[in-house]
């Protein structure tokens, strides 16, 4: 049993943080500026930051009684979310990140959509409401990353990025999600976030929502500005870890794997074959590499055109846009390497790959254990 406090607020905002001291004031001010006709609490789970994140949060908590700072001894994102979920007193819970800025109506729009779906909508009902992820350029690498994510090649098959869907209204999401708003009871019923996932934890949880027959929708009005990694090594580390846990998610939830997610590991294998494969295989692999280069150049041209239309490629931004193909290669290769690493660590997700190839079969929904010791207060 989860020994939760009696609900005394309408919405609990769950925020895992780690070493966010440089931007945490700006982020918290945006969070607490929410226009919501109800009571809200902001729960920050600090992963024992080595900078002044916790001190800054405690100062902000003295200024705003809605802010509570919690300890996250396991330090992970999933454990931080579970720490907050255990302490949450709201009927609804919302996830916000310490490196993103959310619109002032984020909570209102999410809760209203869930209320429209009906209390405890259950099977086939909307149980998760999220918004698009909008990269916010703040330097050369982040500008190039934002431009890359504005192309279909940079986004892959994910619909969570701004621009992935042209319609003005809401649309359905698969396991590609960014934060969101839920009924607290729905997240508790799923067992919270699995702390075995160092990243991709929202995608793994989203798969469990889909397994339960519940829908996830995206509202353009809930678009949040996201701060991409500022350096190429940091971007590599981020996408490599995405790949590792994408493979693990695919092994547990075969239907969660998109065709686009298979392309990065194929690119890595093709590159290796073009160097070390037998003669005929090497030649065929090089044809594949040239095809990738052609697609990459086309996507780069797409990014440049979009930048010109938005008046972003003049002056100092010209240098940033020359990094677009470099950024895309880093994202794809890092994701591919990570996916192969995940296969080596947890096994190849054969059922997921078969589903991608054949588009057939209905794998059994996952009904095994969820590792959520922080939700159960088993800090160990």
Is 92 within the bounds of a domain? yes
Q: How far apart are CA 127 and CA 210, in angstroms?
A: 10
DSSP β-bridge partners for residue 41: 12
98, with CB counted inside 10 A (0-12, 13-18, 19+), is buried
Q: What are phi and psi of 149, to 5 degrees?
A: -70, -10
Give per-residue pLDDT as tens, 307-327: 776 654 444 455 678 899 999
Question: For the domain that residue 216 is a member of, what is the CATH number?
Answer: 3.90.550.10
Is 377 a member of any domain?
Answer: no
Report H helices in the chain: 24-32, 53-63, 77-87, 106-117, 140-149, 152-155, 184-189, 201-211, 232-252, 259-276, 279-309, 317-321, 324-346, 350-358
What percent of the chain clears pLDDT 90, i.e. is strictly above it?
66
pLDDT tens for 49-105 read 999 999 999 999 999 999 999 999 999 999 999 999 999 999 999 999 888 889 999
Q: What is the pLDDT of residues 120-136, one digit of tens each?
A: 444 458 999 999 988 88
The pTM assigned to this predicted structure is 0.89
Are 127 and 39 within one domain? yes
pLDDT reported for residue 64:
92
Last residue of a domain, one of 200, 229, 258: 229
User: Is residue 375 a part of any domain in this protein?
Assistant: no
Show the tokens assigned to 29.
């001010």
Which residue range(s) make up the domain with 99? 9-229
Asked if 274 and 171 sit in the same domain, the reply is no
Nearest to 181 by CA among 6, 44, 13, 374: 13
The pLDDT of residue 165 = 53
Residue 278 near residue 131 (C-beta atoms within 8 A): no
Residues 272 and 354 in one domain: yes
Say how far apart CA 107 and CA 189 lie, in whole Å. 21
As given in the structure block, the two tokens for residue 17 are: 């943080």
> What pLDDT does 81 receive?
97
Q: Are 176 and 206 part of one and the same domain?
A: yes
**pLDDT at residue 356 tops 80:** yes
The answer to whether position 366 is within a domain reads no
Q: Specify whether 134 is located in the same domain as 36.
A: yes
| Torsion, CA 114, CA 119, CA 120, CA 122, rounded to 10 | -60
Q: What is the pLDDT of residue 361?
A: 66
- Same domain for 193 and 314, yes or no, is no
Whether the per-residue pLDDT at 344 is higher than 90: the answer is yes
Confidence label for 111 from pLDDT (cuts 50, 70 and 90)? very high
Distance, in Å, from the CA atom of 198 to the CA atom of 176, rounded to the nearest integer, reads 16
- pLDDT at position 7: 57
| 276-290 per-position pLDDT tens digit | 888 889 999 999 999
Name the one residue in this structure whose structure tokens are 């990014």.
303
CA 147 to chain CA centroid, Å, is 18
Average pLDDT for 187-211: 95
| Sheet with 100-101, edge to edge strand ranges | 100-101, 224-226, 133-135
pLDDT at residue 363 above 70?
yes
- Distance in angstroms (rounded) separating the CA atoms of residues 91 and 8: 8
With respect to residue 367, please indicate whether it lies within any of the assigned structural domains. Answer: no
Residue 332: what pLDDT? 97
Least-confidence region, from 22-26, 255-259, 328-332, 338-342: 22-26
pLDDT of amino acid 41 = 96
In a domain, 204, yes or no: yes
Would you say 105 and 38 are in contact if contact means Cβ atoms under 8 Å apart?
no
Residue 224, beta-bridge partner list: 133
pLDDT digits (tens, 9 = 90+) for 215-254: 999 999 999 988 888 899 999 999 999 999 999 999 999 9
Residues 145 and 282 both lie in one domain: no
> How many whole angstroms separate alpha carbon 109 and alpha carbon 311?
31
Q: Are residues 158 and 130 in the same domain?
A: yes
Considering the domain boundaries, does residue 203 fall inside one?
A: yes
The total number of structural domains in the chain stands at 2
Residues 77 and 198 in one domain: yes
Say yes or no: 218 and 293 in one domain.
no
Considering the domain architecture, whether residues 255 and 144 belong to the same structural domain is answered as no
Residue 364 forms part of a structural domain: no
- Residues 225 and 256 reside in one and the same domain: no
- Residue at which a domain ends, from 176, 195, 229: 229
């Amino acid at each position: 049993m989860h020994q939760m406090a009696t609900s005394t607020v309408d919405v609990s905002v769950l925020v895992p943080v780690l070493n966010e001291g440089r931007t945490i004031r700006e982020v918290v001010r945006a969070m607490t500026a929410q226009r919501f006709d109800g009571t809200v609490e902001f729960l920050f789970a600090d992963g024992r930051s080595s900078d002044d994140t916790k001190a800054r949060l405690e100062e902000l908590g003295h200024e705003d009684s809605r802010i509570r700072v919690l300890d996250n001894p396991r330090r992970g994102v999933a454990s931080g979310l579970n720490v907050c979920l255990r302490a949450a007193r709201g009927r609804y819970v919302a996830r916000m990140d310490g490196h993103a800025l959310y619109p002032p109506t984020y909570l209102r729009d999410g809760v209203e959509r869930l209320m429209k779906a009906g209390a405890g909508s259950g099977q086939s009902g909307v149980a998760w409401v999220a918004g698009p992820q909008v990269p916010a350029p703040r330097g050369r690498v982040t500008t190039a990353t934002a431009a890359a994510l504005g192309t279909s090649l940079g986004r892959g098959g994910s619909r969570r990025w701004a621009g992935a869907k042209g319609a003005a209204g809401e649309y359905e999401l698969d396991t590609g999600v960014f934060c969101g708003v839920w009924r607290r009871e729905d997240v508790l019923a799923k067992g919270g976030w699995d702390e075995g996932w160092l990243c991709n934890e929202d995608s793994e949880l989203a798969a469990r929502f889909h397994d339960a027959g519940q829908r996830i929708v995206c509202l353009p009005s809930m678009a949040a500005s996201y701060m991409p990694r500022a350096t190429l090594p940091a971007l590599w580390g981020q996408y490599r870890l995405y790949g590792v846990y994408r493979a693990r998610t695919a092994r547990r939830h075969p239907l969660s794997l998109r065709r686009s997610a298979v392309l990065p590991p194929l690119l890595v294998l093709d590159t290796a074959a073009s160097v070390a494969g037998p003669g005929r295989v090497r030649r065929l692999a090089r044809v594949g590499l040239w095809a990738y280069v052609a697609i990459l150049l086309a996507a780069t041209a797409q990014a440049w055109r979009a930048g010109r239309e938005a008046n972003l490629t003049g002056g100092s931004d010209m240098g940033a846009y020359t990094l677009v193909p470099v950024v895309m290669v880093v994202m794809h290769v890092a994701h591919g390497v990570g996916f192969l690493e995940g296969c080596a660590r947890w096994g190849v997700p054969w059922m997921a790959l078969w589903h991608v190839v054949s588009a057939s079969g209905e794998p059994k929904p996952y009904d095994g254990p969820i590792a959520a010791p922080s939700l159960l207060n088993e800090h160990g």
